[in-house]
Amino acid sequence: MGNQLVWQDRFNIGVEVIDREHKRLFSILRKLFNSKRTDEKHKWICQEGIKFFKEHAMKHFAEEEVYMASISYPGFETHRRVHDNFRKKTLPSLEKELNQTNYSDEAIEHFLGVCAGWLIGHTLTEDRAITGKTESRWRELLPEEEQSAMRKMILRLLDDMFGLKARVVSECYGGEQFGRGIYYRLVYGASKEEQWEILLVFEEELLIKTMGSLLGAESEEMSVLVMNAARYTARQFVERIQEQFLPPDMYEIKEENLLSHEQFEKRFVGEKPQFSLLFDTGKGYFAFCALAPHLIQEGKETSLGNAPSIQEGNAMSEVEKYLNNSHEVQKKASGKRKLLIVDDSEFMRQAMQELLGEHYEIAETDSGLGAIRCITLNRPDLVILDYEMPVCDGRQVLEMIRSEKEFANIPVMFLTSRVDRESVHNVISLKPAGYLLKSLAPEKIKKEIDDYFKKKNR
């Protein structure tokens, strides 16, 4: 990775003090990647280099925050919160691992991989948003004080209600799919103009191991009994949160839905939530997302397609129908290889879904950072990766994947529209599992993927 972790013009945001420090941070990491492990001074070089990187990162954050304040950047508080998360949580955790392992090769690789991935992603997303070159999705998050209160409350409720010692995985959950999911939507409010929309995502395994265990359910599949118990428990869970965060006149439930993953994506992905938290409970993942009134613009389409509203008279039949559909989807996916499609083009992702969905279990995302989160939550058998994405390109995404020890052996096929000799050489030099030309006929693309798995089986 060291030879490729070089500064590129597209990393420039056009602010000298910020671009200068970005270049320096890239340079420090590149030198650390390139240091020879056979060198007897390697440990000392890494210790000093990591210390140097941290000092410059702290200096950079301070200078960047001064600049944002000087131009009255509207996303300043949110951006500073992202900095704080890295300097107060991520870096101390990485340093602790380095010290506990006496700077082992694995701990050093972990440190460098995380820092390189964070630096690339943050530079190309949040930092570019400062000058309006992109837009921060997280600019509408509530202030850190309220975020912290929400995190603590959810952790306490998970412990009180289910005996789960959970941990926060992400404070900016982007809607990535994890395992077999149950997607539950509640809308509260006194009127359409003033309402809170709560989206809860449960890994099926979590509900079976908690609600199912309490009810004495023997099946390892979700049942109508467990699902209904989970619905009412979830409502009590949210009501406990309401007591602290919502005014009393907004307690009335206006709408309740059970969503497919596609319906959840349609409603949530692209929104600017006030809370978007992902937790690992030890028995499965759980996400809590909230869209607040000021995020719902007048006249904005909020259709959920064919997701029916659950009413008192149809609850049993709708829950049963939802589970039957879910089990049918799972049955079709059972035994299928998992593919992750990474492409910034919605048209291309949809085309690949239609081409491959019958024979493979498909997950998809539109960015490199989304790919890393998807791989973490639901490890694929093969990643189909667009080489020419505009923010974090295929080369950088592959580097980020291979920098993490547990992901390093996940096979990646590049998807590219370039056929000139230099571009093909650049793709092949990264040693992917293969590469697919977007100009190929659909049946040939599918055949290439099918043949890959046939060879792997042999």
pLDDT tens digits along 281-290: 989 889 999 9
pLDDT at position 73 over 70: yes
pLDDT number for residue 97:
77
- SS3 of residue 202 by DSSP: strand
How far apart are the C-alpha atoms of 435 and 302, rounded to whole Å?
38
CB 266 within 8 Å of CB 304: yes
Percentage of residues of the chain with pLDDT beyond 90: 17
CB 116 within 8 Å of CB 27: no
Token pair recorded at residue 442: 């659909």
Q: What is the pLDDT of residues 290-335, one digit of tens each?
A: 987 544 444 344 556 567 788 767 777 888 888 888 777 666 666 7
209: how many CB neighbours lie within 10 A of its CB? Answer: 18
Taken in order 127, 128, 132, 134, is the CA torsion positive or negative? Answer: negative
Angle (CA) 58 61 66, round 5°: 130
214: how many CB neighbours lie within 10 A of its CB? Answer: 12
Q: List strands edge to edge, sheet with 360-365.
A: 360-365, 337-342, 382-386, 412-416, 434-437
Residues of the chain with CATH 1.20.120.50: 9-130
Instruction: Label residues 303-321 b or e (16+ Cβ within 10 Å = b).
Output: ebeebeebeeeeeeebbee
| Mean pLDDT score, 18-38 | 80
pLDDT at position 229 over 80: yes
CA-nearest of 117, 48, 118 to 83 is: 118
How far apart are the C-alpha atoms of 260 and 329, rounded to whole Å?
10
> In 208-314, which ranges are continuous DSSP H helix?
213-214, 224-245, 261-268
Distances (CA, A) of 96 to 51, 108, 352: 13, 11, 42
pLDDT at position 384 over 50: yes
Q: Which CATH architecture has domain 144-328?
A: 3-Layer(aba) Sandwich (3.40)
| Mean pLDDT score, 19-28 | 88
How far apart are the C-alpha atoms of 123 and 18, rounded to whole Å?
10
Q: Residue 186: beta bridge partners? A: 198, 256
Confidence of residue 142 (pLDDT cuts 50, 70, 90): confident
Q: What is the pLDDT of residues 85-138, one digit of tens each?
A: 778 877 887 788 788 888 887 778 768 877 876 787 678 777 888 988 777 667
How far apart are the C-alpha atoms of 188 and 199, rounded to whole Å?
11
How far apart are the C-alpha atoms of 427 and 442, rounded to whole Å?
21
Distances (CA, A) of 181 to 256, 279, 417: 17, 14, 34
106: how many CB neighbours lie within 10 A of its CB? Answer: 10
242-246, 331-335, 438-442: range with lowest mean pLDDT: 331-335
Residues of the chain with CATH 3.40.1550: 144-328
Angle (CA) 313 317 321, round 5°: 145
pTM of the full structure:
0.61
Instruction: Label residues 417-446 b or e (16+ Cβ within 10 Å = b).
Output: ebeeeeeeebbeebebbbbbebeeeeeebb
- Which residues does 322 contact at the CB level (< 8 Å), separation at least 6? 227, 258
| Mean pLDDT score, 47-63 | 88
CB 371 within 8 Å of CB 397: yes
Among the CATH numbers 3.30.160.40, 1.20.120.50, 3.40.50.300, 3.30.565.10, which is that of 9-130? 1.20.120.50
pLDDT at position 62 over 50: yes
How far apart are the C-alpha atoms of 244 and 239, rounded to whole Å?
9
How far apart are the C-alpha atoms of 135 and 126, rounded to whole Å?
8
1-5, 26-30, 426-430: range with lowest mean pLDDT: 1-5
pLDDT at position 184 over 90: yes
Among the CATH numbers 3.40.50.300, 3.30.70.1280, 3.40.50.2300, 1.10.3720.10, which is that of 335-453? 3.40.50.2300
pLDDT at position 189 over 70: yes
Average pLDDT, rounded, for the chain = 81
CA-nearest of 256, 160, 158, 253 to 207 is: 158
71: how many CB neighbours lie within 10 A of its CB? Answer: 11
pLDDT number for residue 133:
76
pLDDT number for residue 391:
62
pLDDT number for residue 332:
65
- SS3 of residue 181 by DSSP: strand
CB 34 within 8 Å of CB 3: yes
Residues of the chain with CATH 3.40.50.2300: 335-453
CB 242 within 8 Å of CB 188: yes
DSSP 172: S
CB 187 within 8 Å of CB 281: no
CB 396 within 8 Å of CB 368: yes
User: Where would I find the beta strands (DSSP E) of 23-122?
Assistant: none
